[in-house]
Amino acid sequence: MDKAIRHLPANFDQIGAKLAGIKVPNTKKIVSLFSGCGGMDLGFVGGFQYGGRTYDRLPFDIAWANDLSEAACKTYNHNLKHNIYCGDLWNQMGTLPKRADIVIGGFPCQDVSINGAMAAENGERTTLYKAMQEVIKRTRPLVFIAENVKGIMMAHSRVLYEEMTAGFEALGYDATAKIYLAADYGVPQMRERVLIIGTRKGMSKPFTHPAPPFSKEKWITSRQALSDLESKEECDDTSHIWSRAKASPDQGRRRLTAEKPSTTIRAECHGNIQFHYKLDRRLSMREAARLQSFPDNFEFCSGIRQTERQIGNAVPPVLAWHVACAVQEYLG
């Protein structure tokens, strides 16, 4: 898998996705749910550069995508050059393709997050996994990937998690879950997320989660990811803009440590994103995108608050790429 990561000069000013015009034969078709601005989708398609490395184009194409947020859909369409159905997923079921090879999606996590209400099975948003199950039922993919916060595997979510996995089983899938630490996969962030990988029963072998290619000693630090932006002035065109919110209690006063990966970039920080490790300001949106492993030419087509949500809600593209490589290997 690592052979497809080609090392380039570590110049963040020259990195970016190169998707247009690249054709890969024998591609598998993906249905993408809760797509957001397209972090997981970019990772599965590949063909981008980040942090001095090239992440090769993979044999997957997006056949259909959906998200509720108009702002996220605008960003998705602009960068992935692919139509996305905007609106409630339940109302979009009639536009689904009849078949898909892979279904991916990170259904909303607020109801199980330790930073949220922890409503679990009683929450309105996390139970959207049922919409994902309906899509799987209709399209019968070989593999599905469901992403969520690690809270979904904690005690307060046990009933929800058991109901969800039983539902996948009833549809004819074997599911295996793993908590991924993004820093272990080349993302400069201590982000932990659960990925549930389901494979259709009767497949010739079980799915193997990708081994972490980065040891703790090789984690990418905040300084390594962001140092070249320290002298840059604010710029709307590149989303290098930041909140002026003053320090506040709890999460509103956190500051990055230069020689460590970032703490988790959140979606609903309401301007209280982490402070820079060195400068007397909060992180810019471009810096947050860097810490999420988005290429520098990935453009966010919205104001600072919507951009904040899109970045924080996203699956880091580099992490998704490693998972996609494991899926590619599994499918042969």
What pLDDT score was predicted for residue 151? 85
What pLDDT score was predicted for residue 25? 65
In a domain, 272, yes or no: no
In a domain, 15, yes or no: no
What pLDDT score was predicted for residue 121? 44
What pLDDT score was predicted for residue 9? 42
What pLDDT score was predicted for residue 154? 79
Question: Which residues are marked as active site?
Answer: 109
Prediction pTM value: 0.90
In a domain, 34, yes or no: yes
Dihedral (Cα; 11, 17, 18, 22), 10-degree rounding: 140
Q: Is 207 helix (H, G, I), strand (E, B) or coil?
A: coil
Residue 154 domain boundaries? 25-216+316-331
In a domain, 261, yes or no: no
Q: Distance between CA atoms of 171 and 189, rounded to whole angstroms?
A: 35
Domain of residue 324, CATH code: 3.40.50.150
Q: Per-10-residue mean pLDDT for the chain, 332 residues long?
A: 50 44 76 98 98 96 97 98 95 97 87 48 64 97 95 81 94 96 98 97 93 97 98 96 93 95 94 97 98 98 96 98 98 91
What pLDDT score was predicted for residue 158? 82
Contact indicator for 33, 308 with CB cutoff of 8 Å: no
Measured over the CA atoms of residue 54, residue 5, residue 212 and residue 136, the dihedral's sign is positive
CB neighbours of residue 86 within 10 Å: 19
Q: Distance between CA atoms of 235 and 245, rounded to whole angstroms?
A: 18
Q: How large is the greatest C-alpha to C-alpha distance in the chain, in angstroms?
A: 57
What pLDDT score was predicted for residue 64? 98
Which tokens go with 83? 């139509």
In a domain, 302, yes or no: no
What one-character-per-residue DSSP string does 104-151 give? EE----TTT-TTS---GGG-SSGGGHHHHHHHHHHH--SEEEEEEEGG
Residue 254's identity, in one-letter code, is: R
Measured over the CA atoms of residue 56, residue 59, residue 64 and residue 65, the dihedral's sign is negative
Q: Distance between CA atoms of 320 and 182, rounded to whole angstroms?
A: 10
In a domain, 62, yes or no: yes
Q: Distance between CA atoms of 270 and 243, rounded to whole angstroms?
A: 9
Which tokens go with 48? 């981008």
Number of domains in the chain: 1
What pLDDT score was predicted for residue 153? 82
In a domain, 177, yes or no: yes
In a domain, 9, yes or no: no
Contact indicator for 285, 242 with CB cutoff of 8 Å: yes
Q: Distance between CA atoms of 123 and 159, rounded to whole angstroms?
A: 12
Phi/psi of residue 143, nearest 5 degrees: -140, 145
What pLDDT score was predicted for residue 115? 53
